[in-house]
Structure 1
Amino acid sequence: MKIISLKKKSNDIVITLEDLSTLKIDYRTFVDHRIHKDVDITDELLKLLSEESSFFKCKDAAFRFLSRRLHSTGELKLKLIKKNFSKETIEKVLTELKQKKYLNDEEFTFQYVKEKLKKGKAGIHKIENELRSKGIDKSIIDKIISQIDENNYQKNILELIKKKLDQIKNKETDKRKIKSKIISYLLSKGYDYELIFNSLKDFDLEQED
């Protein structure tokens, strides 16, 4: 079928065929294939142009997401699905991004854990759950979690206990209730009960008879 017109629209080229059907392709696809007016174009080539154009668009969208922050493969995939790209196109884009080191789940996990420990002082259980929800493989999670500095982790929980204690000690005098509130708070932050229990020994929260 013959091309009867080509019109540039933003970063795209709109191809109109002699049956008046149209196809919008990315400008880079247009240049790569040297498309021009009055040439015959096969159905196979039309399909190829559409697929290559979608690949460029999908990769552009991926880079926009990655320019804002690091992403796991899983969460980037979900965002691209919401942009209505085909699964085949998304997989091709993700494969290229991983090959070129723009996408690295291990690096993402390392930075994510570092940030959560430093700013949020989150516990390991909460961090693990969040990483699983982002599609990170268990082997990667286990590897990065095993690298956490135990002294800094212990320091975090002690700081959280002190902060929480300062918040409630003037409102509550019953040590058992204070202790219970602190335990509930730390469990919600993702800390292990045994670690919480041992850390609370550094504070005078035992009820006097």
Structure 2
Amino acid sequence: MGDHSAPSVVTACRNTALRLLGRREHSVAELRRKLQERGFDTDTIADVLADCRRLGYLDDDRFAHLYSEQLRRRGYGRLRIEQMLKSKGLSAACVAVCVTACCAEAGQIEDCRRVLRKKLQTVSGEATAPRTAERLYRFLMQRGFAAALIRQVLDELRWPTGGH
């Protein structure tokens, strides 16, 4: 009976990993954590992750690229994308390469403008009021856009950004 338990644990772990990967891309660290949460042991997880990488089902570079593009389309700036990639357990080198490729400065300016235009549709009150400009500045900062970039985009609209 003991001979049959090890292969079934590996099979169960592999099936769980494939089911998770079938839903969406995952980073290696993220998939490892999810398998650990489901009670699989470290050695079994390591074997399954190695198989998934070898077969091309699991690739941190591919995950980082797809995830960063998704975040960018959702209106996040370079700084926030970088933070979110790191939170997925990706290496600093992987994050740096991906963010550099995904978040060129010209693209970030256009992304910031797009997010600002969308936000302006929901802003109440005088659009040029200093308080409104400050709220928009904070909103764009939370979205992960750089301060200089935000000032540039707000200045294009001739909005004061205070001492920022």
Q: Normalized against structure 1, the TM-score is what? A: 0.72
Superposition CA RMSD, Å: 1.7
- Asked if 1:151 is matched to 2:93, the reply is no
The answer as to whether partners of 2:78 and 2:108 remain within 8 angstroms in 1 is no
The answer as to whether partners of 1:122 and 1:189 remain within 8 angstroms in 2 is yes
Partner of 2:152: 198
The one-letter code matched in structure 2 to 1:88 is D
- The structure richer in strand per residue is 1
For structure 1, the 5+ residue unaligned runs are: 1-22, 24-45
The answer as to whether partners of 2:79 and 2:145 remain within 8 angstroms in 1 is yes
- Asked which structure has the greater CA Rg, the reply is 1
- The offset of 1:143, in angstroms, is 0.4
Measured in 2, the distance between the counterparts of 1:50 and 1:159 equals: 55
The answer as to whether partners of 2:125 and 2:132 remain within 8 angstroms in 1 is no
- Asked if 1:178 is matched to 2:117, the reply is no
The answer as to whether partners of 1:72 and 1:135 remain within 8 angstroms in 2 is yes
- The offset of 1:151, in angstroms, is 2.6
- Asked if 1:138 is matched to 2:96, the reply is no
- Asked if 1:69 is matched to 2:24, the reply is yes
Partner of 2:51: 96
- The offset of 1:129, in angstroms, is 1.3
- Asked if 1:188 is matched to 2:142, the reply is yes
Larger relative contact order, structure 1 or 2 (CA cutoff 8 Å, min sep 6): 2
Aligned residues: 160
Measured in 2, the distance between the counterparts of 1:159 and 1:50 equals: 55
- The offset of 1:64, in angstroms, is 0.4
Given candidates 35, 38, 54, the residue that maps to 1:80 is 35
- The offset of 1:174, in angstroms, is 5.9
The one-letter code matched in structure 1 to 2:75 is K
The answer as to whether partners of 1:178 and 1:205 remain within 8 angstroms in 2 is no
Instruction: Give me the identity figure in percent.
Output: 26
The answer as to whether partners of 1:187 and 1:193 remain within 8 angstroms in 2 is yes
The one-letter code matched in structure 2 to 1:85 is F
